[in-house]
Structure 1
């Protein structure tokens, strides 16, 4: 496509940007209107209350409804001590109301964000002495300052809270005890001596029940959660320098399997599985960012407050037809501090390939090539004289020893990232504004004097603005505007979506005996077996440039409906995403030459002359410009009705949701989803909890009458530690049992749409066709009007236990049976002359999936300066295909099924017994007819599993596992000492296999060090190590799926390590900063595995994949 045609193609798309601009204008208008409402309504969150000898619980309920604040307390401890409340309040703040109500109470309270925690106070008479001011800062175990920490003089009601900088000041008598308490953290007591400055480090409580956790379309107190949920916070996320948030999650969340399949900038593809595989179709979980389905890859980690995974039916049933594979919830940050805070992060790092296939040098290549030819009964290619020249390197022009890895691969490439965010809050408005920039370079060397840039690189710009507005006492609104602009660059190579594939393929084929990379006049040198040398693919083929942009806006309002009935509210959310992908391809052809040595003509140096002949007829051409554009929009509407009510010891809540979503790609018909969802919760006396979730929704993937389904789930829990016999137990601070059962669906059945319609084409039919005019009907696919979604029945049992306020154990066992899986029939023969491929897929597949998860946490603060956190988790998930409509193979097959009864992706191959020793050994063994090749000494001798004295496909057996691991585990450790912090994360997988083949593995066009220990009669006779079968220049029975090449891909990886130092406040304040932290961290630092070579990474499944990179990173974090 020429440039003019490209521009003409792009012009019609431009009109769509008018719609984006219109949406942006509307959102800005709504924001301005909201701000006007804020300035006109200064009475937001004001309290009016009249009570006389009222129960404290009733007063708290009125405060909750009028303020929107949550109240947390242990009923027995608080209500049992409370006095009747008499108060007359008119248009006061929540703080003023609390001070008035609790003045005469033997209770204290503290506020964190919008949560009020009430506790008993311990009043003691004391003899007053002279007081002095004590100041200090309060931080968590990672060194982050804590805002709103309660600092109380023990035995009194005198206290204060930390400000936005984590600082406090309090007048106190020597010998008094200061009590530092904060929601979700262990309370710490410190006796005041002669010091005037006391800094404190609080550590999070293991399994704290006051914690608020994110659930589907809402939040709940941790004690009320009945489903299987895991989450991590921003502090852990930011410990990793990974460019992709999905990579960061590996090893951190029980139940989540994260596998990185590439390290290419912008294409560091990561597969995510929640509780393994339950289907042969789409297996990835739904990802919701602030409640809207969006992509995880392009999120700036600095925007993220938490990541939560929903695993069982109770947690995901609300998603109905799309929840069977689990759900990932990403919650972005919002403003909290009343003092504006500016945070700036700058990072720079260097990355390399810790593992990469490296072929042998020229001498070893020539030696092995001669050996392979000899093994095939062919004459050697390299003379003894040539071998000596390759070994001595006396004549590198004619006998080269080119290190193609050094020529084509950089020692290091660089990554840099910058982030600036501003956050704050007032009584009516909260805001968080973030801007980020990421630059990631590639590992391949490129020529510097080209007129274009073919290098691998990524530039990404992120922005986000989250604003919350309290419009008046009963109405609040929020507006999220975010997006990214990304530009990927790479060589054109041979085109396609992944140029790395061909570059690495031909790089692995290029032997060291080829000189290069260029002729004396600057043309690309190649080899007789290589049509496309890697150097030319990188530097002379042109380049591709892909620009991705996404602008998204979410606007929502929530109305308190207490005037209808107490506890009722309504919420509406609308969102619109506009995504654009622009692809530019600049391609060219280039000349390639082969070096020729002429022994019949002497050169200037008196040796055989050297010249270069053209490899083919290609000529150097200018760049030809082409490309295309894709445009996608996603619109979503959500309407909620929420209700919460407490009656004595009974807590009720309910939610009803209507959702509609349209996804339009280019000019295609939209993908549509719509439906209802509901949740009902009941709690009794903070001990017994029941929850019902359901989704009734539909998908346009199916025909009318088949589109909607009902997906219910029920769950319950018993908080045993709140029973009287365990309350205040010094050993067991948490004990909880929970269970769930339900049905969830999956409508993601592949990329083909409208399978309920016939796919028929009219095509030419020769001289006479059934339709006349030489035309006939061609059936591509017959319809299936009864097509439906997959249905997963899920069971879960869970245990949560906390010991000594330091240890926390969470264990789950689960079972899933998924049926209605869409599969192609295998047992039906051709129908009326139509091939099986024309028959429609049907809902016949059945898979069961089961496993367990265990997570153990340990947190302890040894002093105000020293604290530790340790966390380990282990996941296990295994599946079995119960029914696949697979034809039963004949009786003489050792294994008559390839799928039925086996795990998804189970590998099959020949089981290697040993190597053939000689011709007699071959003659006295079963006839081996693998791939139509006769066996020779040094070939694999395969096992005759069906005992028919013949080795063929009937002897193939299941080997190893699939490429998705059954076990994944992680172990994290964090230590904080004064201003120093250290963290480390180990991550690993096991019960996983990969079939390693192709260039760089097989002894085909080139060789690696492993091939130096291939079978020879001499090595076998002398008892030397043999690590590869007989090498050959021909197709042979060895290099195919078997137990030698299907390898154990288990590994343990040092995934992350970080060390940081927060400078003393007197140093950071010298440059005007509240806090200043410097740190260094690393990614993919070291790997232990069971592979026979360290030249490829166990996470990769193909020797052509862009290797996974190791990153050393340095950063500085300023807070102003």
Structure 2
């Protein structure tokens, strides 16, 4: 028998299903006996009807009794349910209950903390007394760890997990998004919402290195992608955070590990699950737009700020827009010449559809168990497409097909030899306009409302408008062609497991071979198109007395061209082989010994690389436990990679950890308040070979080059060039990690998990900056060196509460609060001159720490004030309405020497999440809050600075009149070009990205079985849920979502979703 992730009672039920023996559980001791005795053990005396009883006694009657625990104590709040109906009751304070039932029906007795029991009523049965055995505590459960499972009581590392029920409450298209706010220590940042390209950044315990920070992801024990997986396939997601839990990964474990475990079959009757969801998605935020009238006024205002001394009667130097033009924009009586274009409304749909379909089959018998899942996701894009002017489809969309099949089988009657086959994959098509996403948003956010979007000219060409803008955002979507990617991914794992008890009890061996392929076919269809510009002639009038309008070709030599097709493909393959031996045994009922030895070889073939990536090594885990109270664990990884020179390719990464379950001591056992108290700690080394940049840094990069004269055997123009000098001493990063944890349980309802951690990352690969000039080699030609050092420390707190209030009500809440702060201790940074306020930009600060100019209160009010102050702003002309900068080094000059640390980095230091669930009979309500704090980031100039475009914020810009009137001023003076105020690197444009978000919310209802008898279903549930529903943040301007890292990124989406799931 091969059972994983099952409770002990379920496992015993499977074990004894076809045997004459049964069991009872008393005080966590399993007692074997005959099935008849086991059944009779908890059965009350039967009130059998007399032999001559009439048939009326078989009809519905009152059934009553009491429910006690194994010590004879009455249990209050036990739910008594008639199986297959909605009829239920609960026990009172004396453990008594009463319910109407008929012979042939079954009573189910359940309460949190005890193993449920089910009794089938026979004729005349009116009294049923029950003794419920205490359920296995969380410590007795089995949890997923690296390359296997482990009893939770013996876990001494820092891990956390989330189950399928919580994952499926989110309608996100990307599985990584469903983890936001749910796991302590995991930071998720949804950087984009573009279908098929929605990047989500993942960090475990913040950032601990100057290089790659992403954790490695394993799906069913093999390193694979996670984003494409159908949530309906997932059983759980587990994160491994400290050295003890990640040591088996050796050279890859420093950034933490995410384990995705998919569902498997059971030894039960087949079950079929159907799911359908239909949702609407739209952007959470886009910049606020203003009317063409306001835009033209602001343009004139910016011109006036730049030309304060121009004679208003000068016929040449006049504002860009006359009073006549302003009136036309205001009254919109001549829109073909003076339009009011809302580019976002023109180009973006408010909402587009998203659908998900899913079918799964699960079941099996004694010899074979199976789980099969098929899914389809159809996610639309927000672009508005005009099908009348295109002969192709530039719409943005994602269409993904998923499948998975997990099969487990016994190869002999004893079940000592088992096999498994996991096969999965996806096929998806991603479509988008040929123009880049960044270019479309840049043009959309910076194109003026005074520019016509179209319609097309009578000649059928795209109209651009006035000025020198030669690209239309409407045309970028509808006229430049399209891009399409077709992605195929197939993964397969096959393995054998052999029980080796004939050698020694508790020993087993396992072999697994995995093969993955990924193919991406790309198709680009581009075209050129003719553009026209609009010219308004104020000296002539049309028949309406308005200025006449003419259209002029911008590129007379350019004609519309047919689609130019380009294509490409790349292929990746991956091989992984694992051979392991496991040992698990208990001696004298107190001494438990667990061990694992695993050897692994993997090879990854990537496009454009002639040589494959290889990794090989062994991993060791040894655990000793005494009486379920004291635990000691040793883990180690020994890995090698071809990325390093011979003699330096293998590294040893050992860790030690221990735990003390104080609640199992005699002085705390069976304590009425403290149900769990455990201390644990770990220390060890793990590594990272994700160094970035080119491969084989230990080798010199010498290549034949062309150019120049004849050079003998090299031919004309031939020569040898040394691009880089190799570094044979290069090696992996080393993280020394310390972790201490506390686990506390109260009343079997409330649990607290707390961890504090410290990490020092050495050997970080960096480029040297302090090479003397006399060395004779440019720093850019030197290979990186292992010299960087970063410190990272913090804490995590998780609080869970689970309680059934009565028969109808139950509540569940999970809260987590996390902190991680890093500091760069050494980066071989060139020290700046002493007249700089801060002589380093990295050393001593957070990774990604922003530097910029601090602002003083207020704005300059006049040229006289500027002159009296006497500060010299290098490279800029200061005018009234500009910011006042702090002269940090007090030298009378405002330049880079005055830059100081401002804000934080773009990765939050504090993260928190709160999940809440309330169930009332068949109705359930849940919601998830996610939040971050201590995070800042500048949005960039496009769509933000007045030199590119005007937005709602600019209506509140500084003017002398507003300042004199004491009005609220939200922006410095407007400018036609770059101004001293509109520098990205000052405290005004560095936005506080802290937020609290209603990440998910769901309301579900299970339709009563009595209402769906004819359907033949075991369960029908309808629900509505949503993603990114509400956001509360501290951003000064609400133009962009706080999670988006860049103003020109595809915005994060909000989803409103409805669905139905049916189980047969």
Is this a same-fold pair by TM over 0.5?
yes
Could you say which residue in structure 2 is the equivalent of 1:3?
Answer: none
Could you say which residue in structure 2 is the equivalent of 1:868?
Answer: 811
Deviation of residue 306 (structure 1)? 0.1
Could you say which residue in structure 1 is the equivalent of 2:16?
Answer: 95
Tell me the secondary structure at the aligned position of residue 209 of structure 1.
helix
Query: Retained in 2: the 8 A contact 1:122–1:155?
Result: no
Separation (CA, whole Å) in 2 of partners of 1:304 and 1:551: 17
Deviation of residue 582 (structure 1)? 0.2
1:933 to 876, 881, 899: 876
Tell me the secondary structure at the aligned position of residue 370 of structure 1.
helix
Could you say which residue in structure 2 is the equivalent of 1:639?
Answer: 579
Could you say which residue in structure 2 is the equivalent of 1:352?
Answer: 282
Query: Retained in 2: the 8 A contact 1:151–1:181?
Result: no
Matched, 1:1083 2:1027: yes
1:259 to 162, 181, 189: 189
Deviation of residue 760 (structure 1)? 2.1
Could you say which residue in structure 1 is the equivalent of 2:426?
Answer: 484
Instruction: Extract unaligned runs of 5+ from structure 1.
Output: 1-44, 46-65, 79-91, 137-149, 494-498
Matched, 1:468 2:389: no
- Deviation per CA, 1:285-328, whole angstroms, max 9, x where unpaired? 01000001000111000000000000000000000000000000
Query: Retained in 2: the 8 A contact 1:304–1:331?
Result: yes
1:366 to 270, 281, 296: 296
1:97/1:400 CA distance change after superposition, 3 Å? closer
1:410/1:207 CA distance change after superposition, 3 Å? farther
1:268/1:295 CA distance change after superposition, 3 Å? same
Tell me the secondary structure at the aligned position of residue 140 of structure 2.
coil
1:429 to 368, 373, 376: 368
Could you say which residue in structure 1 is the equivalent of 2:464?
Answer: 526
Could you say which residue in structure 2 is the equivalent of 1:514?
Answer: 451
1:69/1:110 CA distance change after superposition, 3 Å? farther
Could you say which residue in structure 2 is the equivalent of 1:959?
Answer: 902
Could you say which residue in structure 1 is the equivalent of 2:53?
Answer: none
2:476 to 534, 537, 543: 537
Could you say which residue in structure 2 is the equivalent of 1:949?
Answer: 892
Tell me the secondary structure at the aligned position of residue 1097 of structure 1.
coil
1:829/1:776 CA distance change after superposition, 3 Å? farther
- Matched residue count: 1010
Separation (CA, whole Å) in 1 of partners of 2:3 and 2:22: 15
1:180/1:128 CA distance change after superposition, 3 Å? closer
Separation (CA, whole Å) in 2 of partners of 1:134 and 1:578: 62
Separation (CA, whole Å) in 2 of partners of 1:169 and 1:339: 26
Query: Retained in 2: the 8 A contact 1:574–1:637?
Result: yes
1:665 to 602, 606, 617: 606
Query: Retained in 1: the 8 A contact 2:70–2:133?
Result: no
Could you say which residue in structure 2 is the equivalent of 1:762?
Answer: 704
1:603/1:718 CA distance change after superposition, 3 Å? same
1:421/1:265 CA distance change after superposition, 3 Å? same
1:1046/1:236 CA distance change after superposition, 3 Å? same
Matched, 1:675 2:617: yes
Separation (CA, whole Å) in 1 of partners of 2:23 and 2:729: 65
Deviation of residue 153 (structure 1)? 11
Q: For 1:416-815, list aligned pairs within 5 A.
A: 416-449=355-388, 450-472=390-412, 473=414, 474-493=416-435, 499-521=436-458, 522-527=460-465, 528-617=467-556, 618-648=558-588, 649-666=590-607, 668=609, 669-764=611-706, 766-767=708-709, 773-815=716-758
1:311 to 241, 252, 261: 241
1:224/1:174 CA distance change after superposition, 3 Å? closer
Deviation of residue 1101 (structure 1)? 1.7
Which stretch shows the higher mean deviation, 395-404 or 839-848? 395-404
1:1062/1:179 CA distance change after superposition, 3 Å? closer
Query: Retained in 1: the 8 A contact 2:523–2:567?
Result: yes
1:876/1:1053 CA distance change after superposition, 3 Å? same
Query: Retained in 2: the 8 A contact 1:323–1:746?
Result: yes
Separation (CA, whole Å) in 2 of partners of 1:443 and 1:816: 43
Tell me the secondary structure at the aligned position of residue 286 of structure 2.
coil
1:688/1:184 CA distance change after superposition, 3 Å? farther
- Deviation per CA, 1:128-153, whole angstroms, max 9, x where unpaired? 534899999xxxxxxxxxxxxx9999
Could you say which residue in structure 1 is the equivalent of 2:310?
Answer: none
Tell me the secondary structure at the aligned position of residue 876 of structure 2.
coil
Could you say which residue in structure 2 is the equivalent of 1:1038?
Answer: 981
1:944/1:169 CA distance change after superposition, 3 Å? closer
Separation (CA, whole Å) in 1 of partners of 2:1005 and 2:802: 21
- Deviation per CA, 1:130-188, whole angstroms, max 9, x where unpaired? 4899999xxxxxxxxxxxxx9999979xx999999899999x99968999678985557
TM-score, structure 1 length as denominator? 0.85
Deviation of residue 552 (structure 1)? 1.0
Query: Retained in 1: the 8 A contact 2:70–2:134?
Result: no
Instruction: Extract unaligned runs of 5+ from structure 2.
Output: 50-56, 62-66, 100-105, 308-316
Deviation of residue 195 (structure 1)? 12
Query: Retained in 2: the 8 A contact 1:124–1:155?
Result: no
1:329 to 229, 248, 259: 259
Separation (CA, whole Å) in 2 of partners of 1:243 and 1:279: 30
Separation (CA, whole Å) in 2 of partners of 1:259 and 1:923: 46
Could you say which residue in structure 2 is the equivalent of 1:817?
Answer: 760
Separation (CA, whole Å) in 2 of partners of 1:708 and 1:166: 62
Which stretch shows the higher mean deviation, 826-835 or 1074-1083? 826-835
Matched, 1:1116 2:1060: yes
1:151/1:805 CA distance change after superposition, 3 Å? closer
Matched, 1:129 2:47: yes
1:124/1:282 CA distance change after superposition, 3 Å? closer
Tell me the secondary structure at the aligned position of residue 244 of structure 2.
helix
Query: Retained in 2: the 8 A contact 1:442–1:455?
Result: yes
Tell me the secondary structure at the aligned position of residue 924 of structure 1.
helix
Could you say which residue in structure 1 is the equivalent of 2:52?
Answer: none
Separation (CA, whole Å) in 2 of partners of 1:736 and 1:481: 40
Tell me the secondary structure at the aligned position of residue 640 of structure 2.
strand
Query: Retained in 2: the 8 A contact 1:429–1:469?
Result: yes
Separation (CA, whole Å) in 1 of partners of 2:1047 and 2:565: 31
Separation (CA, whole Å) in 1 of partners of 2:636 and 2:346: 60
Deviation of residue 261 (structure 1)? 0.3
Separation (CA, whole Å) in 1 of partners of 2:526 and 2:68: 67
Tell me the secondary structure at the aligned position of residue 934 of structure 1.
coil
The alignment's C-alpha RMSD in Å is: 3.6
Which stretch shows the higher mean deviation, 692-701 or 842-851? 692-701
Q: For 1:1071-1110, list aligned pairs within 5 A.
A: 1071-1110=1015-1054
Could you say which residue in structure 1 is the equivalent of 2:211?
Answer: 281
Deviation of residue 517 (structure 1)? 2.6
Separation (CA, whole Å) in 1 of partners of 2:653 and 2:296: 65
Separation (CA, whole Å) in 1 of partners of 2:567 and 2:828: 43
Tell me the secondary structure at the aligned position of residue 572 of structure 1.
strand
TM-score, structure 2 length as denominator? 0.90
Separation (CA, whole Å) in 2 of partners of 1:134 and 1:842: 84
Deviation of residue 927 (structure 1)? 2.2
- Deviation per CA, 1:618-664, whole angstroms, max 9, x where unpaired? 32111011010000000100000111121111000110000000000
Could you say which residue in structure 2 is the equivalent of 1:139?
Answer: none
- Deviation per CA, 1:520-563, whole angstroms, max 9, x where unpaired? 32322224243321101100000000000001110010001111
Separation (CA, whole Å) in 2 of partners of 1:125 and 1:1003: 81
Query: Retained in 1: the 8 A contact 2:216–2:252?
Result: yes
